[in-house]
Amino acid sequence: MSDQGSTRFSEELEPSLVRAILPPQAQQQYAQGKVSKEFLAPFAESLLHLSKAYVQCEAWRSISRREAQAYALYYLQVNLPKFVRLIRELPSSLRSQPLRVLDYGCGPGTGSMALLSQALQIQSLTAFDRLRPMLDVFTDIVHALACDMRPQYTQDESTALAGIYDLILCGNVFCELEIAKKMSCFHQLCQRLSPGGALVILEPALQETADALVRMRDAFVGEPGEYAVIFPCTHHNPCPLLSSNRGPAWCHATLSWEAPQLVRQLDELTGFGKHRLKYSALIVQRGAIPVGGSRVITEPERTKRGVECMACSASGYERLIIPKKSAPRHLASFDLAPSLPDVPSI
């Protein structure tokens, strides 16, 4: 989908969330400008509670309907652009065919909404979450969006894992799993991929969760198999951030965005402040090969020499200097660096 189409969806999303979640008086306020604190304060309180569990990487054993709604009003909107960024990394074959999709740990449907925003063709969608209130809020949002997405909601993992999928989305779930479960879950999800299918894992950019993701990736690429990590890694060598003893392998990226109105209001009430979005991620494709080249890891800086950043490739984690004349206008963390024979690295 064009950037325009994607922007249009983002503009439609928040009004739909408001219709799905807030009472009529708050909907009227939203239509005229700001929603009053009276209506938003309870959601802000729920967010503070959820965020504490999030930062401590605690699994949410239960969740109230209010908390699931608060998650949707805030985190769904905050996580959606990250999923969009990852979906744009999918091979064109997947972006142009009808897809059997599993949204694993779907919450209120963040990953699925990102697919809608990119106009990917969804042949079937299995929405799996162990928390009923999340699935209920997902259902409410689908109704409010009046879209033709027809998820099959399930709380039963064996039902979810009985299918074969062209695309599996797994957003901010591994951070909630215990270490022993992470690797087995990763393997199980890979085994449910169709030939050419992809598993998209989105994680928070916390040092601890990013490091755990890199360790899982290293163990996985060390095993023989038909799967390739196609993002952000460009190669299957051991991760240079892990092998260099620099402390946690903090492989993460930043996205700039314009926060929608309710996110800004909830930021004010909670003191969060999502001006820039940070995330870590991994995309695995069945039957693929590593993409090669060099991936920008740190925020590129414009210097006298050109554009400078740290980048990762089969030859390691190195400083890259892209001369001014060769530097693209837009280059961000997790973009592929331009492949120029004369790009020096030191």
Ligand X SMILES: C[S@@+](CC[C@H](N)C(=O)[O-])C[C@H]1O[C@@H](n2cnc3c(N)ncnc32)[C@H](O)[C@@H]1O
Which two three-digit tokens encode residue 317?
């984690």
Cα separations (Å) of 53 from 48, 59, 176, 219, 247? Answer: 9, 7, 9, 27, 24
Measured from the CB atom, the residue of 108 and 240 that comes closer to ligand X is 108
Closest approach, Cβ 80 to ligand X, in A, equals 8
Find where tokens 């392998």 sit. Answer: 249
- Helix 3-21 to helix 261-270 angle (10° resolution) is 60
CA separation for the pair 138, 178 (Å, rounded): 25
Find where tokens 């779930």 sit. Answer: 173
Closest approach, Cβ 238 to ligand X, in A, equals 28
CA separation for the pair 262, 269 (Å, rounded): 10
Measured from the CB atom, the residue of 107 and 240 that comes closer to ligand X is 107
Measured from the CB atom, the residue of 212 and 239 that comes closer to ligand X is 212
Measured from the CB atom, the residue of 79 and 313 that comes closer to ligand X is 79
Q: Which residues contact ligand X (rule: CB under 6 A)? A: 59-60, 75-76, 79, 105-107, 110-111, 129-131, 134, 157, 171-173, 176-177, 202
CA angle 320, 238, 334 (to 5 degrees): 40
Measured from the CB atom, the residue of 279 and 317 that comes closer to ligand X is 279
Short-list 329, 210, 333, 330, CA closest to 320:
333
Closest approach, Cβ 59 to ligand X, in A, equals 6
Asked if 71 and 134 count as a contact pair (C-beta separation under 8 A), the reply is yes
Closest approach, Cβ 77 to ligand X, in A, equals 10
Which two three-digit tokens encode residue 233?
């890694």
Closest approach, Cβ 170 to ligand X, in A, equals 7
